[in-house]
Structure formats: structure tokens, C-alpha cells
Amino acid sequence: MNVDGLLVGQVALGALMNVAFAFVVGSALFERWLAVDGARVPNAPSHLAWQRARSSLIAAAFALVLADGGWLFYEAASISGAGLAGALPALPDVIGSTHVGHAWSVAFGGAALLLVSALLYGGGRLGQCFVGLAALICAAGMASLGHAADAGVVSLAYQTQIVHALFTAVWSGIVLAGAFVVLPALDTSITRGALIRLAERISSVSLLAFCVVVLTGVVEAGHGLHGDVGALRSSTWGHVLTLKLALVLLAVVLGGLNRTSVLPRLRRTASTVDAYTFKNMLHLEAFVMVGVFLVAAVLVQSPPP
């Protein structure tokens, strides 16, 4: 794998696509949870957190659309061999005549639908269905951009990758949106009850999503390695995958500490110290998640063994 400016741009924008998609999914979940908790009422203590989740949903969807567009521009420059100067004329051929273009069209269509759904989202069941459908389409398109689609869109590898991408967005999105957007708005004593309820949801839903991510990740790794565990040591793809697994393990440790140690204390004491400890641990986990997405973007650009 030759490292050049185009590859760096593709990796950076690929990571941004993953982060933005995770923020969309996480923000949508928080918006729903807070709405059920009564936070949509203007005088509710957690109303600011609900507003921030709503704004984050729109901003992340917009960022996803831009990241998708920028990624295709770099991909067209790489495919055409003409550099960034020749990327624009090559776009029609890339979109219409290549697998990458077709896969990108699905991903971009899902991102555009996410943006429209976020702008029109009213909190009802219809709006939730549109956001969920758009997220599924987006996950299918992003899965098509990876190596799993090489076996065909009806293959187990590709279907597994869709589920993996969707539940990765659930797990990481809850962590990212919670750490950077929602929980910072719940830093007073009158919002402590809402923070504890959200912390419990974060813990339980993250655990469920993580279990699905592990199961689908094992299938993905087996497909990429073709049963040859030695490829982890002998290939660039294997080295990058090992780094990704190490970062995921670190995120699991941080999340596990929050779930088994910090959250029980927070339930018992509802103290400011325990609340800040939970949020700080979530921040650390969020930064690790960003690293996971960056490495995952490198993995997509690395040829499997």
C-alpha cells in the first residue's frame, strides 16, 4: 500500500464518514430517549440536552453528506490517475461505471435521506421510521464500499458487514454523542436524575450493540483472513486489523469500568464526583472510538491477504 496525499485524504474522509454516521445514530437515540423522558417541554431540566441532541442529529447528517461527497472526489482522483485536477471530469464515469460509484450512490442516498429526515424530524413514529430506514440504507452503502462486497451483495460476508456497520454506529454513536454533546448539558444537581437514567441506557444499549459487533466482527475477520490466522502477522491488512482490535479492546475496558464500577456508585450516591467520573470515562472511550474509526478507514484501503 503506497501512502500518498490521495490515500491520506481518502482515509481521513472515510474516518469522518464513519464518525458522522455514528453521531447521527447516537444523536437520534438520545433525542428519542430524552423526549420519552419529557425533555421536549421547554421548562424541563433536561431540555437543553434534548436541544443539543436534536441539533447534533442535523449537524452530523449534514457533515455526513459533505464527507461522502469529498470521499468520492478523492476516490475519482485515485481511479482516474489524474490527481485532484482530473477528479471532477472523471466523476460521471466513476459513478455510472464502477462498483465504487454504485456503492457510493447507495451510501450518499442514505446520507441525503438522513439529512432530510433530520430536518423534518418531528419525534413521531413516522419520523423514527424514516431515520431508521435512512440509517439502514447508509449502512448498506458503506458496507458496499468495503472488501465484504467483493463476494456479492447476497453473500453472508456482505450482509454481516451491514449489521456490523449499523451496530458499530449504535455503540460508538452513543459514546460519541453522549460524551461530546448530551451529557455535558446535564452537569447540574437538578439534571442528575436524567443523567443517571441516560447513563443506564448508555450502559445497557452499548453492551447489546457490542455483543453484536463482536459476533459480526469475528465473521468479518474470518472472511478477510480466509482462515489463515498467520496473515495477521504477515500482511499489512493483518497488522492494521490487530491495531483496530487493540483499540476496540481498550474501549471495552473503559466501558466495562464505567458499567461495573462507576455506574453502580453513581446510582447509590448521585454525587457530583461520580457523575463527573462517569462522563470523564465516557470521554476517554469516545476518543478511543475516533481512533478505531481512523484505523478502520485505513483497513478499508488496505488489500486483504
pLDDT of amino acid 123: 63
pLDDT reading at 236 higher than 70:
yes
| Per-residue pLDDT reduced to its tens digit, 277-300 | 999 999 999 999 999 999 988 888
**Which residues have C-beta within 8 Å of that of residue 249, sequence separation ≥ 6?**
none
Q: What is the mean pLDDT of residues 158-163?
A: 88
For the chain, the domain total comes to: 1
**Which residues have C-beta within 8 Å of that of residue 26, sequence separation ≥ 6?**
169, 170, 172, 173, 174, 175, 176, 177, 178
pLDDT reading at 92 higher than 70:
yes
Residue 275 banded pLDDT, cuts 50, 70, 90:
very high
Could you list the residue range(s) of the whole structural domain that residue 175 is in? Answer: 5-301
pLDDT of amino acid 79: 84
Long-range contacts made by residues 214-223, C-beta under 8 angstroms, separation at least 24?
216/160, 216/161, 216/163, 216/164, 216/167, 217/164, 217/248, 219/156, 219/157, 219/160, 220/148, 220/157, 220/160, 220/161, 220/164, 223/148, 223/151, 223/157, 223/160
Q: Which of 120-124, 204-208, 272-276 has the lowest mean pLDDT?
A: 120-124
- C-alpha cell, 64: 455526513
Q: What is the mean pLDDT of residues 130-153?
A: 81
| Per-residue pLDDT reduced to its tens digit, 48-77 | 999 999 999 999 999 999 999 999 998 888
Q: Which of 20-29, 128-137, 217-226 has the lowest mean pLDDT?
A: 217-226
